Amino acid sequence: MGNYWCQTVELTSQVVGAIHDGNLLLLKELNEAANESSIVSDNKRFLGLQLHAAIEEGHLKCLSYLLQIGADPCYYYCVDRMTPLHHAVLKGKRNVIETCRILLDAKADINAQNIWGRTPLISAIVNFKTMAAEFLIGENANLNIQDESGTTPLMVCASYNNHDLLKKLLLKDANINQVDAKGRTALHFAVVGKHIGVIKELVSCNCMLSTYDVYGHTPLHAAITKCHTEITDILIHGGIRVISSSTHIIDLCFKIVHSTVTRCLAYHSESDCAQAISSLECMHQVLIAMGPPLKKSIYQKALRLEKSIPKLDSLPECVQRVVVFFNKVTALVAQITAKNPKTMDTLQNLSRRACRQATIASGHNVTWAVHHMDIHTFLKDLILFKS
């Protein structure tokens, strides 16, 4: 029995060596000898090992020969369930595309999932094998299969800032609004990664902006938490829903502003001041997008926070800029919160009513509605508190 095992190991070593050298003639001789002598007890595994070796080395003639004599193009021999196509994408040293094409012609499963639920396409994107990923997309791989955590190829591209590949997936109708196990969309991943180009691409393709994850957070929550003014602006102008009757978003704004301003006042560093101004700018954008009327409790929160700010004269210049911006935001809160008496039907008031109606009808926000209204720029500025 020991001698038999040694012969099998030696034969396996010889065929792998032949494949490594690209010696097709020797490979044929060794396989024919193995069949005649019946040394190999598990021929499927024996051929599978050779197939994976040929794939890794990229020797196409050896690969084609092994498939001709019965090697299984879907065979995996490890608990990770990495198929020959997975192996080609991840481990192929040369001729990767040609190897993938030969395997697919031999009926390899293009959508096979390994132990982590990853298809060859997801594996290719995760490991930056762009050419292989593009080939698999072109061969009509399923673009919406999710791995064990619910991640799709589109989510990986959004997370990795792979803009070019993301566009190819969208052109092939990948599901732009699919959610993972935590309820996150591709947009959530792009916002968390601060990938501006990807965010703009997703928004321009009409992705859902207000999807809540399992923690009750939308992409806007992530943008505000990271104090990213440009992303906040993109989402608001894209039409993300901001409800004035709800304090959820504005409460988050207050928390972030309180945290950043407090740190700025404590340490007086330029970076902390810049972060504080960014958080205030995000809050400013959200307030305008919500529009009047705001709840009185919001104004009261702003006043309480304002009382904790020291006098301007005693602060460094960078901190003074923060305080000035904070006062601007507080004034805006007061302006939006104020309950006006019944007013005349002026052009401004009529425009505000039309804006409110458009906001309710569209389910978006005031900023979005204003930019889609056919009114003069001066009136738009008034509604958005720019004048």
Answer yes or no: are the C-beta atoms of 372 and 366 closer than 8 Å. Answer: no
Through-space distance between the first and last CA atoms of the chain, rounded to whole angstroms:
92
Q: pLDDT for 24-58, tens place per residue?
A: 999 999 999 888 877 777 888 889 999 999 999 99
Q: pLDDT for 329-382, tens place per residue?
A: 888 888 877 655 455 566 777 777 888 888 888 888 888 888 888 888 878 888
Q: Is 161 exposed, middle or buried (0-12, 13-18, 19+ CB in 10 A)?
A: middle
| Rounded distance between C-alpha atoms, residue 106 and residue 337, angstroms | 69
For residue 166, give both structure tokens.
Answer: 């993301």
Q: Would you call the peptide bond into 293 cis, given omega within 30 degrees of 0 as the criterion?
A: yes
| Rounded distance between C-alpha atoms, residue 3 and residue 222, angstroms | 64
Residue whose tokens read 């601007």: 328
Which pLDDT value is given to residue 1?
A: 44
Mean pLDDT, residues 146-172 taken together: 98
Task: Look up the pTM and report it.
Answer: 0.89
Q: Which domains does the chain have, with CATH numbers?
A: 1-142 (1.25.40.20), 144-217 (1.25.40.20), 248-383 (no CATH)
Q: What percent of the chain has pLDDT over 70?
A: 94
Longest dimension (CA), the chain: 103
Q: Which of 64-78, 158-172, 277-291, 304-318 has the highest mean pLDDT?
A: 158-172
- Nearest Cα to 297, choosing from 248, 229, 262, 256? 248
3-state secondary structure of 71: coil
Query: How many other C-beta atoms can be found within 10 angstroms of the C-beta atom of residue 88?
Result: 30
Asked whether residue 106 carries a pLDDT value surpassing 60, the answer given is yes
* DSSP string of 192-228, one letter each residue: HTT-HHHHHHHHHTT--S----TTS--HHHHHHHTT-
3-state secondary structure of 141: coil
